[in-house]
């Protein structure tokens, strides 16, 4: 999902485990709740979130920001078939 942020606009994202924030254009200030470090990202840079977190983003200039979550691996179909045979 992409967000269009005007300069100075602030967005809070909750529960963003295993997601990546990518600055597609512009500049962004990013902070993670409980982490004393701040992160400054420019167009093309990304920040990966490894644990469930609350993020605060502020556009330092007009920005396009993408928040991407990985696609979960589907269960292997032969395994599903085996489970169905055992339960049916």
Cα separation, 41 vs 22, whole angstroms = 8
What pLDDT is recorded for position 38? 95
Phi-psi region of 26 (alpha: psi -120 to 50; beta: other; left: phi over 0): left
pTM: 0.73
Query: What's the structural domain count of the chain?
Result: 1
What pLDDT is recorded for position 42? 97
Reading the chain (88 residues) residue by residue, the pLDDT tens digits are 888 999 999 998 887 677 899 999 999 999 998 889 999 999 999 999 888 888 899 999 999 999 886 655 444 444 444 443 444 5
What pLDDT is recorded for position 36? 93
For 82, the domain range is: 2-87
Both tokens of residue 29?
């200030």
Residue bearing tokens 């085996």: 82
CATH of the domain at 21: 2.60.120.10
């Amino acid at each position: 999902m992409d967000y269009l942020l005007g300069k100075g606009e602030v967005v809070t994202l909750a529960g963003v485990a295993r997601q990546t924030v990518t600055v597609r254009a512009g500049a962004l200030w990013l902070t993670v709740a409980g982490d004393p470090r701040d992160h400054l990202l420019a167009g093309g840079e990304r920040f990966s979130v490894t644990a469930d977190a609350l993020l605060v983003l502020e556009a330092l200039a007009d920005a396009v920001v993408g928040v991407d979550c990985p696609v979960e691996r589907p269960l292997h179909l032969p395994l599903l078939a085996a489970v169905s045979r055992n339960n049916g």
